[in-house]
């Protein structure tokens, strides 16, 4: 019954995330077709992350003033209009501003959906709802990549499809009979405090933001510049996202059975190793590229939830929501850096810079993990909190239904 009541939210999340993921890939391909150099593509696409971070700090005030449905309607329209404005004027400053606006709008839309989703949870069902949200998010992201096959990225058609998806996401919310929840404000733990408590969790979250955002922003650029067809490019991206979803549960089982700093060390090394063929060769055959991308994303996507688990092992349960919000902030800062770093490397050393950037981030993380294992006493396995997969490309509202949060109260 609860799932049926949430079906409108799930449909809206599916439409919204698939449209947004599709647009991110489409823009990377379109910028490559326009002959824009990676040194410019990175900053343009990084504007989305900057807008998203800004939006997470301001949207709750508007929601409190005008309500969930009006806020969602406003920013769904803003996101759809911003999408349609891209092909009208091919100008890099203009596109950067549109990406900034899109990021702000998406943060606001997700805060509405996630706070609504969280409000339907209670102590008996929040683990299930958390898993449903996670699956919906990854499934929508993967399906969004496949939409690239629907037309010519040099035309207006694909932008229209994206705007259509973003607009359709409004319908279930506009017609829902769910009562709008009271919106709570989550004050994140200060970044300095996060660093003081556990530098490893902070660094892992920051680096996760760098490499994941770089993959989504510059992955299509890398594939396009290496001559992949649209079908091959969309397959490369979607398989990588599916791998992240399927790897989440076995990695979670491992994290509950072994010391998490050791798991983080081997996950970081594994993701770096997956990037090695591309870093050495630059151009890979399609099967090797897909395998490398899937292995990289399957492992790299686990860095953020492991960071959350490491932090939560060392804080009180009533601080989980605020601490997780702080790690999301660290991830958001990293996501602004990722496209800039990778685009600079691709400009300097060619397309293999896409993979070299991953290794430049992951190897220091491995060394830091090793240092902390040697110099900080481990927690007994029995003292570790249960591992919970997490979606970093989200807002603080969704961490309120983390099943580890014993201070949770049903709204």
If pLDDT is split at 50, 70 and 90, which confidence band does 411 have?
A: very low
Residue of higher predicted confidence among 281 and 29: 29
Q: What is the pLDDT of residue 382?
A: 64
Domains with residue ranges and CATH for the chain: 2-176+185-401 (1.20.1250.20)
Compute the average pLDDT of residues 262-289: 89
Q: What is the pLDDT of residue 2?
A: 56
Residue 223: name the closest of 305, 285, 171 by CA: 285
Q: What is the pTM of this model?
A: 0.87
Whether residue 160 is predicted with pLDDT greater than 90 in this model: the reply is: yes
DSSP string, 206-229: HHHHHHHHHHHHHHHHHHHHTT--
Q: At what angle do helices 126-146 and 7-33 cross, to 10 degrees?
A: 30
23/160 Cα distance (integer angstroms): 10
Compute the average pLDDT of residues 123-149: 81
| 351 Cβ contact list (under 8 Å, min separation 6) | 222, 225, 226, 282, 283
If pLDDT is split at 50, 70 and 90, which confidence band does 257 have?
A: confident
292/296 Cα distance (integer angstroms): 6
DSSP string, 53-121: HHHHHHHHHHHHHH-HHHHHHHHHHHHHHHHHHTTT---HHHHHHHHHHHHHHHHHHHHHHHHHHHHT-
370/196 Cα distance (integer angstroms): 18
Q: Is 221 exposed, middle or buried (0-12, 13-18, 19+ CB in 10 A)?
A: buried
353/282 Cα distance (integer angstroms): 8
């Amino acid at each position: 019954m609860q799932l049926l009541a949430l079906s409108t939210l799930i449909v809206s999340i599916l439409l919204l995330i698939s449209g947004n993921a599709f647009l991110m890939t489409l823009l990377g391909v379109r910028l490559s077709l326009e002959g824009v150099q990676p040194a410019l593509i990175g900053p343009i696409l990084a504007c989305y992350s900057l807008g998203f971070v800004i939006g997470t700090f301001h949207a709750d005030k508007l929601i409190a003033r005008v309500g969930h449905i009006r806020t969602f309607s406003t920013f769904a329209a803003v996101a759809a209009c911003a999408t349609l404005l891209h092909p009208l004027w091919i100008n890099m400053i203009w596109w950067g501003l549109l990406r900034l606006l899109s990021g702000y709008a998406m943060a606001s839309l997700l805060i509405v959906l996630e706070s609504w989703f969280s409000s339907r949870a209670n102590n008996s069902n929040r683990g299930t709802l958390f898993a449903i949200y996670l699956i919906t998010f990854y499934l929508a992201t993967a399906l969004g990549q496949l939409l690239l096959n629907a037309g010519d990225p040099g035309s207006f058609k694909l932008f229209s499809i994206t705007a259509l998806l973003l607009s359709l996401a409004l319908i279930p919310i506009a017609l829902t009979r769910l009562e709008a929840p009271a919106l709570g404000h989550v004050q994140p733990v200060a970044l300095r405090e996060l660093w003081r408590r556990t530098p490893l969790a902070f660094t892992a979250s920051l680096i996760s933001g760098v490499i994941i955002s770089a993959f989504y922003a510059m992955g299509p650029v890398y594939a396009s510049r290496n001559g992949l067809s649209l079908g091959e490019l969309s397959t490369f991206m979607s398989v990588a996202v599916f791998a992240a979803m399927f790897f989440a549960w076995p990695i979670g089982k491992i994290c509950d059975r072994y010391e998490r700093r050791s798991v983080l060390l081997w996950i970081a090394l594994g993701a770096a190793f997956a990037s090695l063929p591309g870093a050495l060769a630059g151009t890979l055959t399609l099967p090797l590229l897909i395998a490398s991308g899937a292995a990289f994303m399957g492992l790299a996507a686990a860095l953020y939830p492991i960071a959350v688990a490491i932090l939560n092992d060392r804080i009180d349960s009533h601080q989980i929501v605020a601490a997780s919000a702080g790690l999301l902030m660290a991830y958001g800062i990293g996501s602004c850096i990722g496209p800039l770093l990778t685009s600079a490397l691709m400009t300097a050393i060619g397309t293999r810079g896409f993979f070299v950037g991953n290794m430049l981030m992951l190897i220091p993380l491995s060394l830091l993990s090793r240092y902390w294992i040697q110099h900080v006493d481990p927690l007994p396995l029995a003292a570790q909190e249960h591992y919970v997969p997490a979606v970093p490309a989200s807002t603080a509202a969704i961490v309120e239904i983390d099943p580890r949060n014993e201070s949770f109260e049903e709204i």
